[in-house]
């Protein structure tokens, strides 16, 4: 599993990064290649969801911001099982599934947030630099 984010996202002065953004797992791409979305704050949301649910063997819900795509599933032990839907709340078509370890997902989130942090540093957005740093610290604690 790999979270793919744009090499050169568009920076929004409100603390957003917009560009190509998808997940690749075992030949399956979700939502699809060249999907564009708000990389940040979506990675921030996903990190918060993982931090709050990791270790609980509970349900997990990961939404995209632009459009209605979402992943819902569960954490069981060291694995994450996700169903990928074309609409929020699992009401649309199920387009595929993703299975990965919580460690793999956590590392991908950290990598993505570090890239976002670099863009925010380049643009002098201290507030978002701190937000990324805090999420990275929280993700590193669940290792």
The boundaries of the domain holding residue 116 are: 2-138
Looking at the chain, the whole-number percentage of residues with pLDDT higher than 70 is 99
pLDDT at 14 over 90: no
Give the helix/strand (H/E) hosting 38: strand 36-38
pLDDT grade, residue 10 (50/70/90)?
Answer: very high
> Does 24 fall in a domain?
yes
DSSP codes joined into one string, 55-76: TTT-EEEEE-SSSS-EEEEEEE
76-107 pLDDT, tens per residue? 989 999 999 998 876 789 999 999 999 999 99
Q: Work out the end-to-end distance of the chain between its first and last CA atoms, rounded to an integer number of angstroms.
A: 17
Position 69 scores a pLDDT of 93
pTM: 0.94
CATH number at residue 97: 3.30.2450
- Domain count of the chain? 1
> Does 143 fall in a domain?
no
């Amino acid at each position: 599993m790999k979270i793919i984010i744009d090499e050169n996202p568009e920076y929004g002065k409100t603390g957003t990064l917009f560009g190509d953004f998808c997940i690749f797992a075992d030949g399956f791409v979700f939502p699809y290649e060249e999907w564009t979305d708000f990389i940040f704050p979506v990675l921030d949301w996903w990190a918060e969801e993982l931090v709050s649910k990791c270790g609980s063997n509970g349900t997990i819900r990961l939404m995209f911001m632009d459009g209605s795509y979402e992943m819902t599933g569960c954490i069981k032990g060291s694995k994450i099982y996700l169903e990928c839907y074309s609409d929020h709340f699992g009401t649309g078509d199920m387009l595929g599934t993703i299975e990965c370890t919580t460690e793999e997902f956590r590392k991908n989130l950290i990598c993505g947030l570090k890239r976002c942090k670099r863009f925010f540093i380049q643009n002098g957005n201290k507030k978002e630099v701190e937000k990324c740093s805090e999420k990275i610290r929280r993700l590193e604690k669940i290792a």
